[in-house]
A and B are shown apart, each in its own frame.
Chain A
Amino acid sequence: MSTTTDMKPAETKKSGGFTGAAANYIDERTSVSTAVKELGRKIFPDHWSFLLGEVALYSFVIILLSGSFLTFFFQASMAEVHYDGSYVPLKGVEMSVAMASSLDISFDVRGGLLMRQVHHWAALLFVASIGLHMLRIYFTGAFRKPRELNWVIGFVLFILAMAEGFTGYSLPDDLLSGNGLRIIDGMVKGMPVVGTWISFLLFGGEFPGTAIVGRLYSLHILILPAIIVALIAMHLLFVVVHKHTQYPGAGRTNNNVVGYPVLPVYAAKAGGFFFIVFGVVMLMASFFTINPIWNYGPYDPSPVSAGTQPDWYIGFADGALRLIPPGLEWVIFGHTYSFNILIPLVGLGLFIAVVLLYPFLEAWVTGDKREHHILDRPRNAPTRTAIGAAGVTFYAGLWAAASSDIIATHFKVTMEGVIHTLQAVVILGPFIAYFIAKRVCLALQKKDREIVLHGYESGRIVRLPGGEYIEVHQPVDEYERWKLVSYTNYKPLELTPNAQGKVSPIQRVRAGLSRWFFEDRIAPVGTKELEESHGDHH
């Protein structure tokens, strides 16, 4: 694209010189000028939280680059060999070719360990940034019309990112990755009716078999990345179609988008940011070891080390397995029902289904069919924010449970105590978090009203002639004020009978949810109140 964007006619000849000729050559064959015209000066709004999605995109690019390098050396075979590489402690040890080639990448290829660590750190960052990006989208209401489908695409990407992570984690065929697969095998076998056969097909026979690494490799480097690339393309296409959301601010409306153009500002800032993200990942890979498979050794079904943990993003699932109380497995009519596995599976399935469907739920409750391009400040949607806080608490409780043994040994508390506490956190925590978050939101909204009506505290204390001390309040300027008063308020839905004079049960549910969402609310300050409060800034 750079060849088409050289805007220095003064330095080029009348014909445009080489750049002009090249641009002409390409445009006559691709019509690229149309794309430049449409996209070149497209405006994007600025905010630090918009960078989270960018971090996700860039870490994916880093993963592709480092991963491609690794494929040139990694061999996805489970054939047994005697290790004969540079790492002395494992010399002569029997292991799979996959493990041996991973060790060779780490100890015999210059820069190989660096690329392995770049790949792993970038993968951790990928999932983390997607998670934070989703939280940003959620808490600012950016999932509202017209972006519901893009929320779904992003959600699927989050799941695929975790699948990529898990398949990649399993490839080196070291002790930890084998144990991870063993847990997956156990969970699959616990599924009613089909479990035994799915496990048998997945592993190409009995666990661990000699097929799984090769199969996961196909998924990891071909099928999953292809789907991810396609979905990212769609995700970004929708960002272009919808134009980016923006935070409320003076001059910003639902009908405009205010910010800097792609060329030149975002080319520099976003392009530069890619290199910054890459540089930070590179620093981490240079200084911090990740996944030292040589310490774990090859997979063997017998040994296991204490404190085994999955990569962080699988933690919530592993934690869910740990928190199940004892005894939840029964034989009913000659078949084994493993509720100790089914409850986490179904529970997490429901949890992610709610996350997936939330935009549609909220749209149904509000009945709001308008497009929303101005983001909500989280405080201005107290119930949504509170639901989010509850969800985060639920997730965090499960996640902490994946480290229950580490918590117990580090803080010198009992294992049972940690599990029981986290069981309570997962069940009661969301309610407490919901309540607190909602009250905090309402309080912040009240504070906003206070500032709009009576100004902000200037910190200047004045003693009046009568001896009274007051703090001088300064009025906010109209631009600041706009941020505080420009939000949408909703009223609970009133039940109205339909043509037959009846209220349908669906309407009742909707009205109930609407009441739950909007019963407690703080209306934005209007001009009338503003006028009444004038001269009140003491």
Chain B
Amino acid sequence: MASDETSGKDLTAADSSSVEHDTAAAGTAVVARDAVANPGFPPHRPRITDLDPRAEKRAERTVYTLFYLSIVGSIFAIAAYMIFPIVPEDPGSVRLNNLFIGVGLALALLALGIGAVHWGKALMHDEEGVDERHPVRGSDETRARAVEIFQEANTESGFGRRTLIRNSLIGALVVFPLPAVVLFRGLAPQDQDPVALLKQTMWEKGTRLALDPSGAPIKASDVTLGSSFAVIPEGLMDLEHGRLEEKAKSVVILVRMKPQDLIQSPERAGWSYDGIVAYSKICTHVGCPVGLYEQQTHHLLCPCHQSQFDVADHAKVIFGPAKRALPQLPIAVDAEGYLIAQSDFLEPVGPSFWERQ
């Protein structure tokens, strides 16, 4: 680029003359010998409040009016606390309480703030001041003394000389935090193996499929064509402990479509019942519940990261970041016509993990 119109001889490394206190290297920076000189401060321009006593008076009035207004706002907020109480079971009262206390406080704060800033800008002394900068590094004497202190401390303690003491000290300091790391093992129960837990759910042979969240068992004849709903194992809601943990693994989405629409691999031939299929509702990406079922295309969408699964074809991934198909729950019908599980899932549900295979 034809930009360096000053030729090489006019260029010099930016030397210390332009930055008096700083003798550090300028690297590849260059300043032209004929650089324009700093013209110094422009003349000060007085404000209207400096020139016109009436404007000054007006600004003063504005400032104290704002401060008084702030007091009004604070008192209004206190009054609003009492005038607009929360009436139980009336959401409208919450809204009014929120609004009027808030407006009072906002007035108090804004008037105070604007008043102070206006005071600073319009009335306070307006001439800019100048501070000198000094290099951030300590002076040479200070640095020399610092080095000296370390040397004295070293001599007096023998830190550098008595290497056995020094090294064992470093060793002790390195090792002593380790017990704390071990203590954190207690964050999770000692007697459980996460891998084993992740590989099983509440479903087992004969568990009835139940509606989420009521827990009522589902008759195959009650599942209408084209419908989809969330399903949990019967008895989940009666669990004393770990209900959410079990639910987070065992929740299933149940879909009924025309049997001829369903593509079924031979090894899963008996896993559905009359067009009713059940797939894990937990996304194989990072574990959100897949929720949005499109009846016409049989596509299932995860609302978190938009992975799409084809329910008609083994819930395979057709778009999005997920890799694996949703695990299928093999289902059947018991003697009373209720949908039951044939077994647990044959693979871990939910997001991938290291020991999954």
Contacts and interface: CB of A to CB of B under 8 A. Distances in A.
B106 A282 contact: yes
Contact of A326 (B14, B34, B103, B317): B317
B270 interface: no
A522 B3 contact: yes
Question: Which of B113, B232, B281, B357 has the largest count of A CB atoms less than 10 A from its CB?
Answer: B113
Given A41-B129, A204-B187, A478-B39, A302 B247 contact: yes
Contacts of A335: 354-355, 357
B35 interface: yes
A326 B322 contact: yes
B61 to A, nearest CB: 17
Contacts of A497: none
B245 A192 contact: no
Given A110-B81, A269-B116, A524-B32, A43 B131 contact: yes
A481 B189 CA distance: 71
A254 interface: yes
A252 B128 CA distance: 11
Contact of A113 (B98, B118, B135, B195): B98
Contacts of A257: 130-131, 133
Interface in B17-58: 18-22, 24-42
Interface string A241-259: 1110000001111111111
A110 B97 contact: yes
A467 B106 CA distance: 63
Given A255-B132, A304-B291, A111 B27 contact: no
A458 interface: no
Interface residues of B, number: 126
Given A304-B288, A366-B27, A526-B32, A205 B192 contact: yes
Contacts of A202: 187
Interface stretch (A21-29, A162-170, A482-490): A482-490
Interface stretch (A5-13, A122-130, A183-191, A386-394): A183-191
Interface in A201-221: 201-209, 211, 215
B40 A272 contact: no
Nearest to B24: A369
Interface in B296-349: 301, 303-308, 317, 319-324
B27 A368 contact: yes
B302 to A, nearest CB: 8
B352 A366 contact: no
Nearest to A263: B124
B150 interface: no
Contacts of A14: none
Interface stretch (A134-142, A349-357, A527-535): A527-535
A530 B36 contact: yes
A366 B29 contact: yes
B306 A336 contact: no
A276 B114 contact: yes
Interface string A177-201: 0010011011101111111110111
A273 B117 CA distance: 7
A282 B19 CA distance: 47
Nearest to B324: A329
A189 B119 contact: no
B125 interface: yes
A143 interface: no
A380 interface: no
B194 interface: yes
A251 B121 CA distance: 22
Interface string B62-96: 00000000000000000001000110111100100
Contacts of A43: 128-131
Contacts of B282: 301
Nearest to A193: B354
Contacts of B176: none
Nearest to A264: B124
B250 to A, nearest CB: 9
B59 interface: no
B29 A490 contact: yes
Question: Which of B111, B120, B289, B351 has the largest count of A CB atoms less than 10 A from its CB?
Answer: B351
B110 A42 contact: no
A523 interface: yes
Interface stretch (B4-12, B218-226, B255-263): B4-12
A492 B28 contact: yes
Interface string A418-435: 010000000000000000
A74 to B, nearest CB: 17
B27 A196 contact: no
Interface string B213-245: 100000000000000001010000000001011
B29 A251 contact: no
5 contacts: A197-B194, A283-B103, A300-B213, A301-B289, A335-B355
User: Would you list the 7 A-B pairs with minimal beta carbon distance, nearest first?
Assistant: A186-B286, A286-B102, A367-B27, A272-B116, A275-B113, A268-B120, A279-B110
Given A43-B129, A186-B283, A368-B28, 20 more contacts: A42-B131, A111-B81, A111-B97, A179-B304, A186-B287, A191-B354, A208-B248, A255-B132, A265-B125, A272-B114, A272-B115, A279-B111, A321-B321, A328-B323, A335-B354, A415-B301, A415-B306, A491-B28, A492-B28, A527-B36
Interface of A: 41-43, 86-88, 106-111, 113-114, 117, 146, 179, 182-183, 185-187, 189-197, 199-209, 211, 215, 241-243, 250-261, 264-269, 271-280, 282-283, 285-287, 299-308, 318, 321-329, 331, 334-336, 338, 340-341, 366-371, 373, 404-405, 415-416, 419, 478-479, 481-482, 485-486, 488-493, 514, 518-530
